[in-house]
Chain A
Amino acid sequence: MSTPILTVAPAGAWNLDLVHSRVDFEVSYLAGRFKGEFHEIGAELTVDGSRASLEGTAQVASVDVKDENLSAHLQSPDFFDAERHPELRFAAQDIPLDGDGKVSVDGELTIKGVTKPVAVTGTVTAPISDPYGNDRIGLNLTTKIDRTDFGVDWNNPLPSGEPSLANDVTILAELQFVKPGGETS
């Protein structure tokens, strides 16, 4: 049995520290890995005893992939269809805060209006006190999905006939949550 290394976090809602959090995706494309980031994200962590639940969103329109034409293509019905489905959503219950820091939970991910269960792994960092009088929890989560399960089907065959864009996409969320004046709450 592993020794618990996490202390009990103050109960209640914890707010996302937007500056020190990010949500990225990675997918194999052509001869390498293609990465993008959603700039506008939101999340709330609700702590209840040694368990926490997480709800998060990412705005499709805020995707940053270095090229405006590619960004526009990602907004289109070929990919995320931002006009109809402007938001990606994620929710997970029962994230353990009292284990060895490793997280392995089931969550629900919504892309393009399609909600599917996803297996999420990662780490949770013990609540720490920051220099500004707040409590903080760090949560790093990863999941791998098949984008075609969510209706994101675009592809372009290589001369070999193989698809240029992989179906498997990795989504990475590096999140810090803050509880203002945590020690008194």
Chain B
Amino acid sequence: MTRILGISGSLRRDSHNTSLLRAAAEAARPDVELELYDGLKQVPPYDEDDDVYPRAASVARLNAAIANADAVLFATPEYNASIPGQLKNAIDWVSRPVATNVLRNKPVLVVGASTGAFGAAWAQAELRKVLAALGARVLDVELPVPHAHTRFEDGGLTDDGIRASLAEAVEALTAEIRGREGMRVVA
């Protein structure tokens, strides 16, 4: 079973990005399990003074969830042309220590939804840049979902075009995981 961790950058209960991750879970092949991470809100502000072991439970849990997943799928909204602060803050936590962080070599896919016309394209680009800097295996895929409030009904994706793009992107992520299997992991 292939395990993908889905992390939504939006904390809102009826978040379009969380709905997008649910749609991705439905679009994935039966041998792919996509788990939605639900603890982003509990991650405290990054402070190096607090970055001591054992770490806060909320941080340790996020770190373990990423470590135990074969890949991570991020769905990000766009706040003021960039990544939501809480998502960036969580990534800042798991980025430490940089040389051995859990996102290193981890296949990651970034998608995003916004109610505007560009579908969080800038936030996705920034998130891909941040993840690449940490050594993640970032898929060269952009999946913007513009006018997100018109694409979902009761949390379900109603746009078949986006559903097809999402399925294709998750398939690419799955292929990236398969490509990694059997590789020698360089410490």
Contacts and interface: CB of A to CB of B under 8 A. Distances in A.
A72 B105 CA distance: 10
Interface stretch (A75-83, A88-96, A133-141, A162-170): A75-83
A76 B186 contact: no
Interface string B130-168: 001111111000000000000000000000000000000
Interface stretch (B45-53, B64-72, B96-104): B96-104
Contacts of A130: none
Interface in B162-183: 179-180, 183
Size band of the interface chain B makes with A: 20 to 34
A114 to B, nearest CB: 17
A76 B105 contact: yes
A60 B184 CA distance: 13
A60 B99 contact: no
A73 B135 contact: yes
Given A71-B99, A73-B133, A77-B138, A82 B104 contact: no
A86 interface: yes
B57 interface: no
B99 A69 contact: yes
Nearest to A68: B99
A36 to B, nearest CB: 15
B96 to A, nearest CB: 10
Interface residues of A, number: 16
A82 B104 CA distance: 11
A86 B100 contact: no
B135 A60 contact: no
Contacts of B104: 72, 75-76
A83 B183 contact: yes
B1 interface: no
Contacts of B186: 60-61, 75, 82-83, 86
Interface of B: 97-100, 104-105, 132-138, 179-180, 183-187
A-B pairs with lowest CB-CB distance, top 5: A76-B135, A72-B99, A69-B98, A82-B186, A68-B99
